[in-house]
Amino acid sequence: MGILIPLVSVSAFWAIIGFGGPWVVPKGPNRGIIQLMIVMTAVCCWMFWIMVFLHQLNPLIGPQINVKTIRWISEKWGDANHLIDN
C-alpha cells in the first residue's frame, strides 16, 4: 500500500503533463516541435523517476564501511553505550 500512493500520484502527474501539455501550446510555426518536446520531457522525467524509485525498493548492494573506519569513528566519537537506557 505504501508503494502504491507515490507510484500512482507521480505517474498521474507525468501523464497529465504528457497528454495535457501539448493541448495548451499556442498555434505557430513550431507548434509540433514544442508539443514533441513537452511529451518527450514528460516521458524522460517519468522514466528517470520510475528507475530511481524501483531501484530504491530493492537495492543491489547496501552501504559498506571498512572496519578501520568503524574503529576510527568509535575512537573519535566514543561508544554510545551511555546514551542507551537499559
Tens-digit pLDDT profile for residues 32-72: 999 999 999 999 999 999 999 988 887 777 778 888 887 78
Q: Is residue 81 part of a domain?
A: no
In a domain, 35, yes or no: yes
Calculate what percentage of the chain has a pLDDT beyond 90: 57
Regarding pTM above 0.75, the answer is no
Q: Which domain holds residue 24?
A: 3-60
Q: Residue 34: what pLDDT?
A: 93
What's the structural domain count of the chain? 1
Report the pLDDT value the prediction gives residue 85, as an integer from 0 to 100.
Answer: 54
**Position 75 in a domain:** no
Inside any domain, residue 24: yes
Q: Are 22 and 43 in contact (CB under 8 A)?
A: no
d(CA 6, CA 60): 22
- Whether 86 shows a pLDDT value over 50: the answer reads no
